[in-house]
């Protein structure tokens, strides 16, 4: 999580003291926002902390996908479905899209 008291600094300071900043990034695992002319420009983060973040995002994505599949299966079991052709025809009619039979 970004610490608003210590997690924002200028790119100029980062360039001047990069070794110190890298030690801090490794020690805390927290990202840092670097600014240019007072505006946020980039976020830097230790590689291990970034990898952990990527893995957490992938797990969350898988969990959301599994939840959506379960919801779809529950809809099928409850009979809340219609044939794909009818659904496509209804969408085409609603949005004025001409259909062609194939």
Residue 63 domain-assigned? yes
pLDDT in tens, 88-102: 999 999 999 998 766
Mark out the alpha helices in the chain (DSSP H runs). Answer: 11-16, 18-28, 47-78, 84-95
Instruction: Write down the pLDDT at residue 96.
Output: 94
Are 56 and 82 members of one domain?
yes
Residue 99 domain-assigned? no
pLDDT in tens, 12-63: 999 999 999 999 999 999 999 999 999 999 999 999 999 999 999 999 999 9
Residue 34 domain-assigned? yes
Are 56 and 78 members of one domain?
yes
Instruction: Write down the pLDDT at residue 5.
Output: 73
Average pLDDT over residues 70-90: 93
Domain count, the chain: 2
Print the domain residue range for 36. 8-45
Question: Beta strand pairing status for 39-44 and 32-36?
Answer: antiparallel
Residue 16 domain-assigned? yes
């Amino acid at each position: 999580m970004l610490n608003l008291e210590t997690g924002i600094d200028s790119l100029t300071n980062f360039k001047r003291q990069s070794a110190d900043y890298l030690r801090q990034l490794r020690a805390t695992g927290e990202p840092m926002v670097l600014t240019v002319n007072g505006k946020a420009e980039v976020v830097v983060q230790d590689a291990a902390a970034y990898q952990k973040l990527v893995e957490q995002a992938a797990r969350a994505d898988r969990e959301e996908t599994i939840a959506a599949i379960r919801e779809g299966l529950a809809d099928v079991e409850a009979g809340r479905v219609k044939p794909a052709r009818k659904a496509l025809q209804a969408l085409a009619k609603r949005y004025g899209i001409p259909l062609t039979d194939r």
